[in-house]
């Protein structure tokens, strides 16, 4: 029969690699704890309308990249989440989290997202985001804390040479004001721009500035900048975020062309980049979204967040030759000579495991020599041997692999000797 393969743009994370994922996840959880964030788990699918309204009808994500299905036996349209800000905000509103005495609401998540993109290094159709959202504060210190939180996490992972690019995309009113100038500029060069951009002009002109086609980038080099059209209040907010970041010594560059691919952003938008991680260089993206809670039916509450892809983090670590200090291997392997010894081993591994020791034995009827090899491959710290004479004397031989030291002890003592 023909073999069935893994779907394009997805990956299996196998033993040997999964330990690195577990390490990153555990470090992230500990990191978030220090910043007073709590975990939230929302469904992998939501009503399609959540993303249409939340992420924006004219974004690439909603237009081209969503995996949607009709709910069987009903007309409901469901979509595998392409990102999690919309889901978290939905949950915030639905569970009235704004009413909790602990404010602002600080949440984080770790989990898979789904986008139908062209797969390449660092771009998958199922990928894993670690992200955080803060709801209920529009203070610029939270913007800076958000950026610092993810920057410090990367630092802790050992990454070097990261760049924070930021911009203010203003409020809706700022953008309206800017739009008039931008449209005048873009309409003049409309026919020289790529086809996508020609249609973006009418639907979402700001996105033209985000076009990756070199010719378009050149043509729009002198397009009117949003930064020059910020209200006094928006400009002050942006200046304050920068002041806080400077106080923490976080290096950043203001990029007036930075436009994120999701429509909910207001004011601060940022990306963290590293040169040369495959086809893509963006490790992390985020920003403020002060209109989103209201857009999704809640009160007018401000929000800000970020998310980064774990696959891209792994690529970055690889690129910089960073090895994570993951723990592998087991504590103890019991090698037996006879079927009777195996029976003893079977109850001993049970006792060891109950005492917190990672213990293993042979299940393949291998010769002692092959069992010793298996213990070696599993990098067991101790090998316990039960031969015929040990069996007769109710003893076992314990060998510490690092030192080669070995001693014979009563079988009943084994758990106490190896207990953590």
Q: Which is nearer to ligand HAM, 146 or 384 (CB)?
A: 146
Q: Which is nearer to ligand HAM, 134 or 220 (CB)?
A: 134
What's the closest the beta carbon of residue 265 comes to ligand HAM, in angstroms?
Answer: 7
* 123 is an interface residue for ligand HAM by CB under 6 A: yes
What's the closest the beta carbon of residue 306 comes to ligand HAM, in angstroms?
Answer: 5
H-helix or E-strand spanning residue 36: none
* 127 is an interface residue for ligand HAM by CB under 6 A: yes
Listed ranges 26-34, 155-163, 179-187, 308-316: which one lies at the site for ligand HAM (CB under 6 A):
308-316
DSSP letter (8 states) at residue 47 = E
Q: Which is nearer to ligand HAM, 28 or 411 (CB)?
A: 28
State the Cα–Cα distance between residues 380 and 353, nearest whole angstrom.
14
Distant-in-sequence contacts of 379-383, Cβ < 8 A, 24+ apart? 379/328, 379/329, 379/330, 380/329, 380/330, 380/331, 380/332, 380/333, 381/329, 381/330, 381/331, 381/332, 382/331, 382/332, 382/333, 382/418, 383/332, 383/333, 383/334, 383/335
Number of residues that bind ligand HAM (CB under 6 A): 26
| Selected binder of ligand HAM within 154, 308, 333, 382 (CB under 6 A) | 308
| Selected binder of ligand HAM within 20, 59, 85, 134 (CB under 6 A) | 85
| Selected binder of ligand HAM within 305, 344, 362, 375 (CB under 6 A) | 305
C-alpha 23: how far from its chain's center? Answer: 12
Parallel, antiparallel, or unpaired: how do β-strands 77-80 and 68-70 relate?
A: antiparallel
**φ, ψ of residue 357 in degrees (nearest 5):** -95, 135
Asked whether 234 and 168 are in contact (CB, 8 A), the reply is yes
| Selected binder of ligand HAM within 301, 307, 314, 315 (CB under 6 A) | 307
- Give the orientation angle of helix 232-248 with respect to helix 140-157, to 10 degrees: 30
Q: Which is nearer to ligand HAM, 44 or 189 (CB)?
A: 44
Does residue 104 have a cis peptide bond before it, meaning omega lies within 30 degrees of 0? Answer: yes
What's the closest the beta carbon of residue 260 comes to ligand HAM, in angstroms?
Answer: 6
What's the closest the beta carbon of residue 244 comes to ligand HAM, in angstroms?
Answer: 18
Q: Which is nearer to ligand HAM, 19 or 117 (CB)?
A: 117
Of residues 272 through 301, those in contact with ligand HAM by CB under 6 A are: 282-287
* 259 is an interface residue for ligand HAM by CB under 6 A: no
Question: 243: number of CA atoms within 13 Å, CB side?
Answer: 9
Tell me if residue 27 falls in helix, strand or coil.
Answer: helix
| Selected binder of ligand HAM within 83, 143, 145, 216 (CB under 6 A) | 83
State the Cα–Cα distance between residues 239 and 269, nearest whole angstrom.
13
For ligand HAM, the binding residues (CB under 6 A) are 83, 85, 115, 117, 122-124, 127, 129, 131, 133, 261-262, 282-287, 305-309, 311-312
């Amino acid at each position: 029969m023909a073999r069935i393969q893994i779907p394009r743009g997805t990956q299996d994370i196998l033993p040997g690699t999964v330990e690195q994922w577990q390490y990153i996840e555990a470090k992230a959880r500990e990191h978030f704890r220090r910043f007073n964030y709590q975990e939230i788990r929302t469904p992998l699918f939501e009503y399609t309308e959540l993303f249409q309204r939340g992420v924006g009808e004219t974004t690439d994500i909603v237009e081209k990249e969503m995996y949607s299905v009709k709910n069987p036996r009903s007309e409901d349209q469901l979509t595998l989440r392409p990102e999690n800000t919309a889901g978290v905000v939905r949950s915030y509103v639905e569970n009235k989290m704004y009413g909790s005495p602990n404010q602002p609401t600080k949440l984080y998540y770790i989990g898979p997202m789904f986008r139908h993109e062209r797969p390449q290094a660092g771009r998958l159709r199922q990928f894993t985001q670690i992200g955080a959202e803060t709801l209920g504060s529009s203070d610029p210190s939270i913007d800076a804390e958000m950026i610092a939180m993810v920057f410090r996490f990367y630092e802790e992972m050992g990454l070097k040479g990261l760049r924070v690019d930021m911009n203010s995309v203003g409020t809706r009113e700022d953008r309206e004001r800017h739009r008039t100038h931008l449209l005048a500029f873009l309409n003049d060069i409309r026919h020289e721009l790529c086809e996508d951009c020609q249609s973006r002009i009418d639907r979402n002109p700001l996105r033209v500035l985000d076009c990756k086609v070199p010719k378009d980038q050149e043509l729009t080099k002198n397009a009117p900048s949003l930064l020059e059209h910020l209200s006094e209040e928006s400009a002050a907010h942006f200046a304050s975020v920068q002041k806080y970041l400077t106080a923490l010594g976080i290096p950043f560059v203001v990029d007036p062309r930075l436009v994120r691919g999701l429509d909910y952003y207001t004011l601060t938008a940022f990306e963290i980049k590293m040169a040369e991680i495959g086809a893509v260089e963006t490790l992390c993206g985020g920003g403020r979204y002060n209109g989103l809670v209201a857009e999704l039916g809640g009160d007018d509450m401000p929000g800000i967040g970020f998310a980064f892809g774990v696959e891209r983090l792994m690529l970055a670590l690889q690129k910089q030759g960073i090895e994570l200090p993951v723990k592998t291997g087991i504590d103890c392997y019991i090698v037996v000579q006879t079927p009777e010894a195996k029976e003893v081993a079977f109850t001993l591994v049970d006792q060891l495991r109950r005492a917190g020791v990672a213990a293993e034995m042979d299940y393949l009827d291998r010769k002692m020599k092959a069992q010793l090899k298996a213990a070696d491959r599993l990098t067991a710290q101790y090998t316990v041997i039960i031969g015929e004479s040990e069996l007769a004397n109710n003893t076992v031989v314990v060998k510490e692999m690092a030192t080669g030291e070995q001693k014979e002890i009563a079988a009943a003592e084994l758990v106490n000797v190896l207990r953590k």
